[in-house]
Amino acid sequence: MKRIAILGSTGSIGRSTLSVVEAHPERFSVVALAAGSNVAAALEQAKRWRPRLLSMATSRAADELARKLKGAGCGDIEVVHGSAGAIRVATHPEVDFVVSAIVGVAGLEATYEAVRAGKSVGLANKECLVAAGELITAEAKKHGKPLLPIDSEHNAVHQCMRGGRLEEVQSVWLTASGGPFLDTPASEFSRITVEEALNHPTWKMGQRITIDSATLMNKGFEVIEACRLFGLAPSRVKVIVHPQSTIHSLVEFVDGSLLAQLSVTDMRLPILYALTWPERIPSGLRYSVNDLRHLDFRQPDMQKFPCLALAYEAAEAGGARTVALNAADEVAVAAFLEGSIGFDEIPRVIRDVLKETDVRHPESIKQVLAMDSEARQLARERVEQLKSRKAGTRRPVVAK
């Protein structure tokens, strides 16, 4: 029986993980959960899974949950909160495996502490590796514990890597669906609405990653993630647009062989793979080869999607630049979602923040978090400038 903790249990990946656990009760049990602010969902999960420990992002949410749990006869479940609470979930002594799926840098400390505590970790949260991949992978190596990628592309690469040794790998090819604006002219990007950007063609995901998929920043993060997970230079991690998202990624070996992984576009499969590795177990997640029709590929357009080029630049520099890339993107995406900046202004904010970020290499998570705050501050200032410029160009309303 594998005993599991889920960081981000109320999110898209968290729920998919619980659905995998539900399908295999003989293999997995839930020990601890961490959520953000969705008390109603956390309450339902607590009643269903009876974890020993549950953490919420704030003391207010935790108090509300604890009160409701008591009323529902589940007062034995301990409720904690904040980053300290998420760390307790991630390091609970009864936990064997931690699924890291809190969105953004909020999941960083708990994920790092899980690795430090010698847990096996299934990583969905890509921001952890982008901001602090060097530290996290070094710690995992020290403990001899695997970091199992749940992100579908890296999960695919992990699977293909079983076909050869790391020294035999020529390149890794990450496939990109291209997002909803693959064929939209760049001249129309300033008019893209939040609703349009949230309409991803192949995957249903949380809001941040959906916007990141539309700008191709998600693919940029994945390049950095791949470099860190598999120890590859950025020049050996390539991106190819594949709108059907049937092939989740490929590995090219030195002898010219290319191995690809194909499967349904359902995150339960990479989650199951990570939870059962190095075994494979039967599942109902089938992809019919008879449905295989067109597999289209094209080069990504880095001019139209500058976020991808910015991510390669940050990957080359490493350290503070990748911390800043993630922080600036998080702020810019939030500003776009609340209507403060345009879709085309997301890369502008990130570019300006990167320009002002010196290359330094953090030696601790504390330093990563300090760099993250600095970059966020710069990004917020840039967003404010763009907002006031927009307000300045608006015509004053003149009373008749």
Ligand X SMILES: NC(=O)c1ccc[n+]([C@@H]2O[C@H](COP(=O)([O-])OP(=O)(O)OC[C@H]3O[C@@H](n4cnc5c(N)ncnc54)[C@H](OP(=O)(O)O)[C@@H]3O)[C@@H](O)[C@H]2O)c1
- Using alpha carbons, list the distances in angstroms from residue 323 to 43, 186, 318, 329: 34, 27, 8, 10
Binding site for ligand X (CB under 6 A): 8-14, 34-38, 57, 86, 101-103, 106, 124-127, 151, 203, 205-206, 209, 267
Minimum distance, C-beta of residue 4 to ligand X, in the bound complex (Å): 15
109 vs 252 by CB, closer to ligand X: 109
What are the two backbone dihedrals, phi and then psi, of residue 138, each rounded to the nearest 5 degrees?
A: -65, -40
Minimum distance, C-beta of residue 176 to ligand X, in the bound complex (Å): 13
**How many of the other CB atoms lie within 10 Å of CB of 205?**
19
Are 158 and 148 in contact, with CB atoms under 8 Å apart?
yes
21 vs 209 by CB, closer to ligand X: 209
* Closest among 372, 365, 364 to 321, alpha carbons compared: 372
Residue nearest to ligand X as judged by C-beta position: 11
30 vs 103 by CB, closer to ligand X: 103
* Closest among 321, 377, 369 to 106, alpha carbons compared: 369
Minimum distance, C-beta of residue 390 to ligand X, in the bound complex (Å): 27
Minimum distance, C-beta of residue 359 to ligand X, in the bound complex (Å): 25
Minimum distance, C-beta of residue 30 to ligand X, in the bound complex (Å): 14
Report the alpha-carbon distance of residue 101 to residue 99 in Å, rounded. Answer: 6
219 vs 321 by CB, closer to ligand X: 219
210 vs 357 by CB, closer to ligand X: 210
269 vs 386 by CB, closer to ligand X: 269
Minimum distance, C-beta of residue 165 to ligand X, in the bound complex (Å): 27
Minimum distance, C-beta of residue 29 to ligand X, in the bound complex (Å): 20
12 vs 91 by CB, closer to ligand X: 12
**How many of the other CB atoms lie within 10 Å of CB of 400?**
2
Half-sphere exposure of 311 (CA within 13 A, CB side): 29
Peptide bond preceding 234: is omega within 30 degrees of 0, i.e. cis?
Answer: no
Q: Based on the number of CB atoms within 10 Å of its own CB, is 88 exposed (0-12), middle (13-18) or buried (19 or more)? A: buried
Q: Based on the number of CB atoms within 10 Å of its own CB, is 282 exposed (0-12), middle (13-18) or buried (19 or more)? A: exposed
